[in-house]
Amino acid sequence: MGTENTRTIAVDYLARVEGEGALYVKVRGDHVVDVELRIFEPPRFFEAFLRGRSWLEAPDIAARICGICPVAYQMSAVHAMERIAGVEVGGHLRELRRLLYCGEWIESHVLHIFLLHAPDFLGYPDAMQMAADHKSIVEKGLELKKHGNAIVNLLGGREVHPINVKVGGFYKLPDQYSMRELEDQIKRARDLALDTVRWTSSLEFPGLEIDHELVCNGKAGEYPMNEGRIVSSAGLDIAVDSYDENFIEEQVEHSNALQSRVKGRGAYLTGPLARFNLNFELLHEPVKQAAREAGVVASRNPFQSIVIRALEVFYACEEALRILRDYDAGLPPAVDVDARAGTGYACTEAPRGILYQRFSTDAQGQVTDAKIVPPTSQNQLAIEQDLGALVPQHLDKTDDELTHLCEQAIRNYDPCISCATHFLKLELDRGPADA
Amino acid sequence: MLGIGQAMRGDDAAGIEALRWLRDRYPELDCEELTGDPAALLNAFANADHVVVLDCVAAKPGDTQPRVIDGLRQGLSAGQGASTHAFSLREAIELGRALGRLPERLTIFGIPGHDFELGASMSTDTCAALARLTELFPKWRQQHA
The DSSP line for A65-133 is T-SSSHHHHHHHHHHHHHHHHT----HHHHHHHHHHHHHHHHHHHHIIIIIIIHHHHHT-SSHHHHHHH
Say if residues A404 and A1 touch (Cβ distance below 8 Å).
no
**Window from A158-167, A220-229, B25-34 with minimum mean pLDDT:** A158-167
Rounded Cα–Cα distance for residues A52 and A75 (Å): 20
Residue A163 CA: distances (Å) to CA of A74, A203, A379, B18, B25:
10, 38, 29, 21, 24
Query: Cα–Cα distance between B133 and B67 in angstroms, integer?
Result: 9
Q: How far is A282 from chain B (nearest CA, A)?
A: 31
Kindly list the residues of chain A whose beta carbon comes within 8 Å of any beta carbon in chain B.
13, 15-20, 41, 45-46, 48-49, 61, 64-65, 67-68, 107, 111, 115-116, 126-129, 131-132, 135, 138-139, 142, 145-146, 149, 158-161, 418
Question: Is B102 in a helix, a strand, or coil?
Answer: coil
Comparing CA positions, the residue from A102, A132, A100, A126 lying closest to residue A114 is: A126
Q: Which of B87, B89, B93, B121 to mutate to test the interface with A (most CBs of A within 10 A)?
A: B87
Mean of the pLDDT values across residues B122-139?
A: 95
Nearest C-alpha neighbor of B30 from the set B55, B17, B49: B49
Q: What is the CA radius of gyration of chain B?
A: 14
Q: How confident is the model at residue A25 (pLDDT cuts 50, 70, 90)?
A: confident
One-letter amino acid for residue A308 of the chain: I
Q: Name the pLDDT band for A255 (thresholds 50, 70, 90).
A: low
Chain A positions in Cβ-Cβ contact with residue B38 (cut-off 8 Å): 111, 115, 142
Helix (H, G, I), strand (E, B) or coil at B107: strand
B11 vs chain A: nearest CA distance in angstroms?
A: 15
pLDDT confidence bin for B81, thresholds 50/70/90 = very low
- Show the domains of chain B with their CATH numbers: 2-144 (3.40.50.1450)
End-to-end CA distance of chain A: 18
Pair B78, B87: CB distance under 8 Å: no
Buried b (16+ CB within 10 A) or exposed e, A214-232: bbbbbeeeebbbbbbbbbb
pLDDT (mean) for B20-40 = 90
Report how many helices (DSSP H) and strands (DSSP E) chain B contains, helices first. Answer: 4, 5
Q: Is A105 exposed, middle or buried (0-12, 13-18, 19+ CB in 10 A)?
A: buried
Give Cα B138 to chain centroid, integer Å.
Answer: 16
Contacts of residue A43, Cβ cutoff 8 Å, sequence gap at least 6: A256, A257, A258, A374, A377, A419, A420, A421
Summary mean pLDDT of chain B: 87
Report the pLDDT value the prediction gives residue A385, as an integer from 0 to 100. Answer: 92
- Whole-angstrom Cα distance, residue B92 to residue B51? 13
- Kindly list the residues from chain B whose CB atom is less than 8 angstroms away from the CB atom of residue A13: 78, 86
What is the tens place of the pLDDT at every residue in A62-80?
888 777 888 999 999 999 9
> Does residue B118 have a pLDDT over 70?
no
Q: Which residues contact B24 (CB under 8 A, 6 or more apart)?
A: none
Cβ contact A17–B86 (<8 Å): yes
What amino acid occupies position A232? S
Torsion sign over Cα A75, A80, A85, A86: positive
* Enclosing H/E stretch for A137: helix A135-156
What's the pLDDT band for A19 if we cut at 50, 70, 90? very low
Q: How far is A389 from chain B (nearest CA, A)?
A: 27
Least confident of A5-9, A303-307, A377-381: A5-9
Q: Do B99 and A111 touch (CB under 8 A)?
A: no
Neighbours of A423 (CB within 10 A): 17
Radius of gyration of chain A (CA): 21
Task: List, for residues A390-415, the tens digit of each pLDDT value.
Answer: 988 998 888 788 888 888 898 899 88
Q: How far off is chain B from A181, nearest CA to CA, in Å?
A: 19
Residue to mutate among B16, B37, B43, B88, with most A CBs inside 10 A, is B37
Residue A200, CA atoms < 13 Å, CB-side half-sphere: 34
B99 and A139: CB-CB below 8 Å? yes
DSSP label at residue B81: B
DSSP A191: H
- Contact residues on chain B for A126, CB-CB shorter than 8 A: 91
Angle, in degrees to the nearest 10, between helices B38-46 and A135-156: 100
Task: State yes or no: pLDDT of B109 exceeds 60.
Answer: yes
Q: What per-residue string of b and e applies to A64-74 under the rule 16 or more CB within 10 Å gives b? A: bbbbbbbbbbb
Mean predicted confidence (pLDDT) in A123-142: 93
Burial tier of A389 (Cβ tally within 10 Å: 0-12, 13-18, 19+):
middle
B14 CB burial (10 A radius; 0-12, 13-18, 19+): buried
User: A319 vs A99, A323, A347, B111, CA distance in Å?
Assistant: 8, 6, 20, 42
N-terminal to C-terminal alpha carbon distance within chain B: 12
Nearest CA among A24, A124, A16, A6 for reference residue A425:
A24
CB of A11 within 8 A of CB of A425?
yes
- Residue B80 has a pLDDT of 43
Distance (Å, whole) CA A296 – CA A234: 21
Q: Which residues neighbour A88 within 8 Å (Cβ) at sequence distance 6 or greater?
A: A82
Residue of A98, A47, A81, A66 lying closest to A217 (CA atoms): A98
Residue A48's pLDDT is 82
How many CB pairs (< 8 A) connect A and B? 86
**Min distance A49 CA to chain B CA atoms (Å):** 7
**Bridge-based pairing state of the strands B50-58 and B32-34:** unpaired
For A52-207+284-337+347-372, CATH gives 1.10.645.10
Nearest-angstrom CA–CA distance, A415 and A190: 25
